[in-house]
Chain A
Amino acid sequence: MARKSKGRQKIEMTRMSKESNLLVTFSKRRSGLFKKAYELHTLCGAEIAIIVFSPGKKVFSYGHPCLYSIIDRFVTGKSSSSSSSAQLVEAHRSASIRELNMQLTEMLNQLEAERKRGEELAKHRKASQGKCWWEAPVSELGLQELEQLKVAVENLKKNVVKQAEKLMAVEASNTAAFLGASSSMGGGHVGPSNIDATKVPHGLGLSMTPHGFTMGYGRGFF
């Protein structure tokens, strides 16, 4: 069974021969090691210090509550007595750590949900690609199909622009009406008559420049 990576396969416990693999392995395993230490502390309250030197002679360390206090404790053989103020500080830290933990868990759940959604969308795509020729990737289409598709796409683009301009004209006139009403004491009647729809600037993200969309308006994702 050919696999791209060595995940979930047994590897030999000797120094890795390939330098590039070694660096990647170091990076991943160091990260995983710190994660395990973080979990051990969270779950069991253990105080842990880890020092790791990288192949590039840099040093990475993890220590909670504080690396230096644990090193001190190890070297001198005695632990710093826990004064009441130290305990208070520790309690505060625990509270904020708990909050951060909750935030992280929430985000990880969101990420999981979005990934599932992505899978669903991809599955749906694949299913419909089999049925409709125009949904296939452009690179697979023939000249005649491309010509036909091009016309359809350009037509739709025109309609999209028209629709967007319509919406923004409505929004602009609503804004004007609101402003007008708030500035005139008698509740003056300011209708959309002074808004010229054709003057809605293309700079509002609907530019048809060769560069495509500028996304200046709205909060699209691109």
Chain B
Amino acid sequence: MTRKKVKLDFITNDSARKATYKKRKNGLLKKVNELSTLCGIDACAIIYSPYETHPEVWPNTLGVQRVIARFQRMPEMEQIRKNLNQESFIKERITKTNEQLRKQYKNNRKKEITELMYQCLTGRGLEDLNVVDLNDLGWMLDQNTKEIYRKVESIKKRAPEQKAAPPLALQVPPPTPRPTNGGGC
């Protein structure tokens, strides 16, 4: 079984196309079978190819006719509602992929800005950043500030008698990425 990525385009080589058709056709029929069995639902498949005059079907001719009859008994609105063809299928996938892409960009951007924030906290300058970067950076800093306040509150609540140790000198942590006060690392 090949695990190479197949280019999703019409196979021009006749013999390769016929071989692929055979394999995938069998696979498709198997999948319909599994879906029907595992979920206990009615299903049918009809496949026409240039290689045979008669279609390949699942489960069998009678079974297909039964499912078609059940399908045609449904109101037309219901029939069409979840109907897909090649174009609508691809468009749906494009929409889904777009959504995933957006999420991934947002995720990556968050990571980028977090990285930027730590660099700036340890001495990186702001001069080469544009307004968008600065905006996002400011947002991230606000989020961090909120988190820090929350955590400080929760610590103080748990041990109110314990006086907070006087903060160290008010300076930015040194630029070298090595632990300064022996805590945390």
Could you say which residues of chain A place their CB within 8 Å of the CB of B146? Answer: 212
Once A111-B104, A217-B131 are accepted as A-B contacts, the answer to whether A15 and B97 lie under 8 Å apart by CB is: no
Could you say which residues of chain B place their CB within 8 Å of the CB of A114? Answer: 101, 104-105, 108
Q: Is the CB of A221 within 8 A of B82?
A: no
Q: Is the CB of A52 within 8 A of B89?
A: no
B55, B70, B127: most-surrounded residue (chain A CB, <10 A): B55
Q: Give complex CA distance A29, B27 in Å.
A: 13
Majority secondary structure, A binding face: helix
Q: Is the CB of B138 within 8 A of A136?
A: no
Nearest CB in chain B to that of A65: its residue: B85
Q: Is the CB of A206 within 8 A of B179?
A: no
Question: How does the 8 Å CB contact mask read for B32-53 relative to A, with 1 for contact and 0 for none?
Answer: 1011011111111111111000
Once A51-B67, A59-B78, A125-B115 are accepted as A-B contacts, the answer to whether A164 and B184 lie under 8 Å apart by CB is: no
Q: Is the CB of B31 within 8 A of A33?
A: yes
Q: Which of A94-127 contact B (CB under 8 A)?
A: 96-97, 100-101, 103-105, 107-108, 110-111, 114-115, 117-118, 121-122, 124-125
Q: Is the CB of A131 within 8 A of B177?
A: yes
Q: Give complex CA distance A150, B100 in Å.
A: 34
Question: Least Cβ distance of A98 to chain B in Å?
Answer: 8
Question: Least Cβ distance of B170 to chain A in Å?
Answer: 5
Could you say which residues of chain B place their CB within 8 Å of the CB of A15? Answer: 37-40
Q: Give complex CA distance A152, B120 in Å.
A: 10
Q: Give complex CA distance A107, B82 in Å.
A: 24
Q: Is the CB of A61 within 8 A of B136?
A: no
Question: Least Cβ distance of A49 to chain B in Å?
Answer: 4
Q: Give complex CA distance A62, B101 in Å.
A: 26
Contact of A215 among B111, B127, B135 (CB under 8 A): B135
Size of A's binding interface in residues, CB under 8 A:
117
Question: How does the 8 Å CB contact mask read for B166-185 relative to A, with 1 for contact and 0 for none?
Answer: 01101111000111110111
Q: Give complex CA distance A29, B156 in Å.
A: 52
Q: Which of B80-98 contact A (CB under 8 A)?
A: 81-87, 89-91, 93-94, 97-98
Q: Is the CB of B90 within 8 A of A63?
A: no
Q: Give complex CA distance A125, B181 in Å.
A: 21
Question: Least Cβ distance of A36 to chain B in Å?
Answer: 5
Could you say which residues of chain B place their CB within 8 Å of the CB of A148? Answer: 167-168, 173
Contact of A70 among B46, B143, B164 (CB under 8 A): B46
A14, A50, A146: most-surrounded residue (chain B CB, <10 A): A50
Question: Least Cβ distance of B177 to chain A in Å?
Answer: 5
Q: Give complex CA distance A125, B25 in Å.
A: 46
Could you say which residues of chain B place their CB within 8 Å of the CB of A37? Answer: 28, 45
Q: Which residues of A contact B (CB under 8 A)?
A: 11, 13-16, 22, 25-26, 29-30, 32-34, 36-55, 58-67, 70-71, 73-75, 79, 93, 96-97, 100-101, 103-105, 107-108, 110-111, 114-115, 117-118, 121-122, 124-125, 128, 130-136, 138-157, 159-161, 163-164, 167-168, 171, 205-206, 208, 212-213, 215, 217-222
Top 6 A-B residue pairs of the complex, sorted by shortest distance between their CB atoms: A133-B184, A212-B142, A213-B139, A147-B167, A121-B111, A44-B21
Task: Please list 23 pairs of residues, one from A and one from B, whose beta carbons are closer than 8 Å in the complex, sorted by A's number.
Answer: A16-B39, A26-B35, A26-B41, A33-B35, A36-B24, A44-B17, A46-B48, A48-B47, A55-B40, A74-B57, A93-B86, A100-B91, A121-B108, A131-B177, A132-B122, A133-B179, A138-B151, A141-B151, A144-B164, A152-B173, A156-B172, A168-B131, A220-B139
